[in-house]
Amino acid sequence: MIKAIREAKVHTAWLKPDAEYEAGFLQFADRVLDDRPDNPFLQSFLPFVRKIQHHGALNSLSQTLLKFTVPGVPDIYQGTELWDLSLVDPDNRRPVDYAFRFQLLQDLQEQEQADAQALWAELLQNYADGRIKLFLTHKLLQARQQYQDLFLRGAYQKLTVSGSLKSHVVTFVRELGQQQMIAIAPRLTAALAPSGEFPVGEQVWYETRLQPPVGSGPRWRDLITGRVIVSEEMLWLRDLLQRFPVALWLNESEA
């Protein structure tokens, strides 16, 4: 907190610190965050925090998908395969428990092999533990490894979205020769689903749909969940985002 207010340079600064103001600021912060039943601020603030936490997690999943699929080299910062709730340096310079992450990844792989659909549901139900982001990161790294040329040299084109919720999705296609891959990420999710729920399925996306890229075949496979759909014309968001909040669909016209 001292670092934040000094760098704001409004009432105190590194080169001209105001010790009295800083002491008062810390006292104020301690009082408003005092976890007691008669603290009116904290009791009114916590529901807001839970809402921000939920939609912040959804936003992070969308950002993770985009980071790995837009042109460029994705940067994974200091073990942020899980949620990272640290502040700026030096708070974000703590050691990363890679052994813990490795064990979580092994468990996820075993669960997926045993019952993939049960795993997706469990990850959504327990999204706060961060494993859903680790699972997504793993799947996206696998996709980049398997389709290296597509990500290194593939074109990047926007897709046309139609329907009442077209402003709530970011989608584009990466193309190289006969290969086509569509990335889909929701945005502004607070208007899509209440806190605690996820923007998946027909009850959220209704008639919203996207125009497939030119030259694509009817068969598509999601590289995150492994689901396959067949569509001769429009691609419906209710199908593309049926079980997981983001998607990366590969056209399998050659299959």
Question: Chunked in runs of 10, what are the mean pLDDT values of the chain (255 residues)?
Answer: 92 97 97 91 91 95 98 90 86 90 98 96 96 98 97 96 96 96 97 90 95 94 96 93 97 72
Peptide bond connecting 90 to the previous residue in cis, omega within 30 degrees of 0: yes
pTM for the structure as a whole: 0.90
pLDDT number for residue 25: 97
Do 27 and 48 belong together in one domain? no
Do 44 and 21 belong together in one domain? no
Do 56 and 12 belong together in one domain? no
Q: Which domain, by its residues, includes 193?
A: 40-251
Do 84 and 27 belong together in one domain? no
pLDDT number for residue 92: 82
pLDDT number for residue 255: 43
pLDDT number for residue 125: 95
Cα 240 from Cα 220, distance rounded (Å): 9
Do 46 and 27 belong together in one domain? no
Q: Is the Cα torsion angle 104, 106, 109, 112 positive or negative in sign?
A: negative
Cα 254 from Cα 249, distance rounded (Å): 15
Do 59 and 135 belong together in one domain? yes
The domain tally of the chain equals 2
* Residue whose C-alpha is closest to residue 65's, from 245, 216, 218: 245
Do 115 and 16 belong together in one domain? no
Do 12 and 117 belong together in one domain? no
Do 81 and 14 belong together in one domain? no
Do 23 and 78 belong together in one domain? no
Helix (H, G, I), strand (E, B) or coil at 157: strand
How far, in Å, are 4, 123, 136 from residue 238 at the CA level?
A: 43, 19, 20
Q: Which residues contact 218 (CB under 8 A, 6 or more apart)?
A: 230, 231, 232, 253
Do 20 and 127 belong together in one domain? no
Cα 235 from Cα 7, distance rounded (Å): 49
Other beta carbons less than 10 A from residue 166's beta carbon: 14
- What are the structure tokens assigned to 181, written together? 């891959």
